[in-house]
A = this chain, B = another copy of it.
Amino acid sequence: MTIELINTGAELLVGRILNTHQQWLCRHLTDLGYEVSRQVCVPDEGSGIQAAVREALERAEVVITTGGLGPTSDDRTRDFIAKLLGRKLVLHPPTQDWITKYFASRKRPMPASVQVQAMIPEGATVLPNPNGTAPGLVIDAGGKCLILLPGPPRELRPMFRDSVVPLLREKFPLATKFLCHTFKTTGLGESVVEEKIAPSLQPLVRQGLEIAYCARIGEVDVRLAARGEKAGELLTQSKEIVTNLLGPVIFGAEDDTLEAVVIRLLTARNKTLAVAESCTGGYIAHRLTNVPGASKVFLGGVLSYSNAVKQKLLGVTAESLRRHGAVSKAVGKEMAEGARRRLHTDYALAVTGIAGPGGGTVKKPVGTAFIALSESKKTVVQLQYSPVDRETFKFVVSQRALDILRNSLLTAAPFAEKVP
């Protein structure tokens, strides 16, 4: 059974938008054990969409389209596909009700145009869209399964999880057992990770284990997969080998983020955190506060972009600033200790550095950062040098800072009892 993906939208082919659907859908379909054999992107006009859908239906059992279900004049996927399949568009009253309620609950006037989203190809099944007004659609096209999903990721993703996955599992059960596991790692490059684990996994690879590495900035994923009768055994054994060889380089699994792991560890240990950010400019706090429940352990912090703020809100001394400069081990240390003291937290992370493109010197070039972690009995400061572009710099420094905290939390005792 193969799946093809069709992304529609002129905005994709004129390059106004990054196609994140491809990665997200391919990733999730692959982890379910399905194979995506081709992805196509066509503009939202009739001949392109219709040709792409027709060709895909000839090759694949399941065809998923994204985009073009909205209310504007260039949202025409529903229309063109209905025409291609010779289906009439008919009113779907429950969708009409939902659209009306959606606008009413937001106290927003409802443009007449949005009602077009309640018109669906005859015989189509509607997938509810709790996060928007365009429903998803499932159409049986001569025995092939055609699934139409809305373009906005915050509508598409929950719809995929809640409606498409159960549908695929029911209609297209896997022929053989399929298991996979993805380790998330940070701190080592892709080739080093591979060198560490590949030799020991070789015997299992000969028995059918599949290994894939995926390097992103500051992270390497190791994905293990196995099919058939021995899948369980292969996966258990290979997971144990990787866990032993990589140890704390592994920070999580599957969709874990480093920030979510840090919040989880802080919560489990009943510890609180503050930050003092200069060169990362709020990025560490932003990442931490993306995690639901962060407010229980993350109390806040100071964005000390200027020296005056470092002194006034964190108690960094004028002497340290004068003698060592704002980007220095001494100032990093004082920032972390100041944040911990003023916010009364168990831990405080501080970063000070030069993100560039301006501001570098011979002794402290662009890409220099000091990362400090203060806890009750000590403050450690690490120097990091990452001469990369500004946004990448902010990410890698925040990644390193969170990882320093994670490693410290790993050695701290887990919180045993609930405080009343």
Name A residues whose Cβ lies closer than 8 Å to a Cβ of B.
10-20, 22-30, 36-43, 48, 52, 70-74, 106, 111, 113-114, 131, 152, 154, 182, 190-192, 194-195, 198, 212-217, 221, 223, 275, 277-278, 280-286, 288-290, 292-295, 298-306, 308-309, 312-313, 342-344, 355-359, 385, 387-392, 394
Task: Decide: B389 and A154 in contact? CB cutoff 8 A.
Answer: yes
Docked complex Cα distance between A217 and B28 (Å)? 23
In the complex, besides A11-B221, A18-B22, A302-B313, 4 extra interface pairs with C-beta distance below 8 angstroms are A15-B25, A15-B29, A19-B22, A285-B303
What distance in Å separates the Cβ of A284 from its nearest Cβ neighbour in chain B? 7
CB-CB under 8 A from A282, the residues of chain B are 277, 282-286, 289, 303
Task: Decide: A300 and B305 in contact? CB cutoff 8 A.
Answer: yes
CB-CB under 8 A from A390, the residues of chain B are 290, 292
Docked complex Cα distance between A343 and B311 (Å)? 11
Task: Decide: A191 and B114 in contact? CB cutoff 8 A.
Answer: yes
Give the nearest-CB partner of A279 in chain B. B289
Copies assembled = 2
Task: Decide: B285 and A213 in contact? CB cutoff 8 A.
Answer: no
Q: Pull 13 A–B residue pairs with CB atoms less than 8 Å apart, ordered by A.
A: A15-B24, A37-B48, A39-B41, A40-B41, A72-B191, A73-B194, A277-B282, A281-B290, A290-B391, A293-B358, A303-B303, A312-B343, A313-B342
Give the nearest-CB partner of A11 in chain B. B214
CB-CB under 8 A from A106, the residues of chain B are 385, 387
CB-CB under 8 A from A11, the residues of chain B are 212, 214, 221
CB-CB under 8 A from A39, the residues of chain B are 12-13, 40-41
Docked complex Cα distance between A26 and B198 (Å)? 36
CB-CB under 8 A from A309, the residues of chain B are 299-301, 343
Task: Decide: A214 and B16 in contact? CB cutoff 8 A.
Answer: yes
Q: Which of A16, A37, A387 has the most CB of B within 10 A?
A: A16
CB-CB under 8 A from A131, the residues of chain B are 388-389
Give the nearest-CB partner of A281 in chain B. B289
Task: Decide: A190 and B292 in contact? CB cutoff 8 A.
Answer: no
What distance in Å separates the Cβ of A58 from its nearest Cβ neighbour in chain B? 12
Contact of A299 among B15, B42, B213, B305 (CB under 8 A): B305
What distance in Å separates the Cβ of A383 from its nearest Cβ neighbour in chain B? 12
Docked complex Cα distance between A30 and B16 (Å)? 10
CB-CB under 8 A from A281, the residues of chain B are 285-286, 288-290, 294, 298
Contact of A286 among B283, B292, B295, B313 (CB under 8 A): B283
Known: A154-B217, A190-B70. A212 touches B14 (CB 8 A): yes
Docked complex Cα distance between A6 and B358 (Å)? 36
What distance in Å separates the Cβ of A294 from its nearest Cβ neighbour in chain B? 7
Q: Which of A36, A52, A217 has the most CB of B within 10 A?
A: A36
Contact of A72 among B113, B213, B290, B355 (CB under 8 A): B213
Contact of A302 among B14, B302, B394 (CB under 8 A): B302
Please give me the 3 A-B residue pairs with the lowest Cβ-Cβ distance, nearest first: A281-B289, A15-B27, A282-B285
Known: A39-B40, A282-B286. A214 touches B17 (CB 8 A): yes
CB-CB under 8 A from A73, the residues of chain B are 194, 198
What distance in Å separates the Cβ of A320 from its nearest Cβ neighbour in chain B? 17
What distance in Å separates the Cβ of A331 from its nearest Cβ neighbour in chain B? 14
Known: A15-B23, A37-B43. A303 touches B283 (CB 8 A): no
Docked complex Cα distance between A192 and B387 (Å)? 44
Task: Decide: A26 and B36 in contact? CB cutoff 8 A.
Answer: no
Task: Decide: A289 and B305 in contact? CB cutoff 8 A.
Answer: yes
CB-CB under 8 A from A12, the residues of chain B are 22-23, 26, 39
CB-CB under 8 A from A74, the residues of chain B are 212-213
Task: Decide: A72 and B190 in contact? CB cutoff 8 A.
Answer: yes
Docked complex Cα distance between A16 and B52 (Å)? 24
